A and B are shown apart, each in its own frame.
Chain A
Amino acid sequence: MNENPIKEVRLTPIRNGTVIDHIACGQALNVIKILGINETNIGSSISIGIHVSSKALGWKDIIKIEDREIDEKKSEQIALVAPDATISIVRDFYVAKKYKVDLGEHIVGLTRCTNLNCITNKGEPVLPEFSVESKYPVQLRCCYCGKLVNNISDNLL
């Protein structure tokens, strides 16, 4: 019998910061990309759970960022890749604020049009713009070329 059994490691509660839960499975790293967080601009811990069991989703990803409260404006961007995500702002171990991400009706400049022949991919001085056709699953229609955008997570700006 093993005298030093390996303890199951779980994401521990954080004292202060942000918990982004119910992220669509496989999208945690894209959420980190959207938040613009990397090793050079944060001095606290980030815990990422990938393929975590979930009653609601079956499987999900989860992110806990210590000592940083993310801007509510980022929720629209997160909704692009994780439309079911919830954001909890934690202060002294208590949830001070909790909300669900919301995609809105019109998206500007967050992702590229996947049509390579679209004028927005040709160096013109415009940001890509999309109308939201569907939130579940996320479907965007380019306001310039009219094409439906797929592979959103691969084309984030």
Chain B
Amino acid sequence: MDLYHKDVVSITDFSKDDIEGILDMAEKMIPYARGEKIKRSLDGKILGNLFFEPSTRTKLSFESAAYRLGCDVIDVSEMSMTSMAKGETLADTIKIVDSYCDATVLRHPYEGAARLAAKFSDHPVINAGDGAGSHPTQTLLDLFTMRQSKGSLDNLNIVLVGDLKYGRTVHSLAHALNKFNMKITLVAPEGLMMPDEIISHLEANGCRPVITEYLDDAVANADVLYVTRIQRERFPDPSEYQKVAGTYRIDKALLEKAKSDMIVMHPLPRVNEIAPEVDDTPNAKYFQQAANGVPVRMALLNGLLGGEF
């Protein structure tokens, strides 16, 4: 797939080969992402970073990816600092930002915001998370990390645990896992299971996910344990959050029940779902996963903006 001038709105817009191609490019980017080599393939380009919801990793790794390739960045981090606070539509905001830069990265609290932005923008739009919708670049770096650790993405046995209802990272990831014929187990407390429409989509594509509330049983044969935070900010009723907060905790005792080479991933931030004692085990891959945001996003930006590499 030629990425040039494409939008990155949903992982479902990409085929298995497209994804593998991006991950191959990300592999080549690693020494440049670490600053060990320098190439300014996007010199003279400008990236617009619009983050209307809080972000640390996604926003900073996009900025780092852009700067590593010689691309400048203009950014907005709060809706209150834009004309949207005065009632301007997202469509108008996007048209203006689009006229100032060569690509726009958008994080927004409403689902479908990136698709709308792509409609009103002449340049590429990259979805950096739209409400509880999707987060395709997180999915790419998740897959990159799995491939780094396991050598291949095909036929892995993966357990997704935590807030599967509101967690956009797992929504995007589930769609992608299906492309690689993975065995999927979904573990969530009552009320936070993966939405039916995503499960139906998996089933329609030949996947039969195992659905359970019991993590101990699920990890026994897992190659990958993907943990998500139960997100307080997605609960309309705080008492509902309190009922399920802390349901699952990954610690060394749990790792004893798993295969020794099972990797533990988390899109971060974590609260208390992974005990700090896990950080120093060879199973913990979540900090490496966060670091992989830079080479993966470098690969995307370079492709979308037509950098020579």
Contacts and interface: CB of A to CB of B under 8 A. Distances in A.
Interface in B102-117: 108-113, 115-116
A106 to B, nearest CB: 15
Contacts of B91: 124-126
* Interface size of A as a range: 10 to 19
Contacts of B130: 119, 145
A118 interface: yes
Interface stretch (B29-37, B131-139, B214-222): B131-139
Interface in B1-53: 10, 12
Nearest to A128: B112
Interface in A133-157: 142-148
Interface string B232-267: 000000000000000000000000000000000000
Interface in A32-48: none
Contact of A119 (B10, B90, B132, B134): B90
A107 to B, nearest CB: 16
A117 interface: yes
A124 B116 CA distance: 9
A121 to B, nearest CB: 8
A27 interface: no
A133 B252 CA distance: 45
A125 B91 CA distance: 7
B119 interface: yes
B80 interface: no
B112 A146 contact: yes
B280 interface: no
A151 to B, nearest CB: 14
B110 A119 contact: yes
A131 interface: no
Given A117-B110, A119-B111, A146 B133 contact: yes
Interface string B113-153: 10110010000000000111110000000000000000000
A111 interface: no
B21 to A, nearest CB: 24
Nearest to B131: A117
B111 A118 contact: yes
Contacts of B10: 146
Interface of B: 10, 12, 89-91, 108-113, 115-116, 119, 130-134, 197
Given A145-B112, A145-B130, A145-B133, 17 more contacts: A113-B112, A117-B111, A118-B111, A119-B110, A119-B111, A119-B116, A120-B112, A124-B90, A126-B91, A126-B116, A126-B119, A142-B112, A144-B111, A144-B115, A146-B133, A147-B197, A148-B197
Interface of A: 113, 115, 117-120, 122-126, 142-148
12 contacts: A117-B109, A117-B111, A117-B132, A119-B110, A120-B116, A125-B89, A142-B112, A144-B111, A144-B115, A145-B112, A146-B10, A146-B111
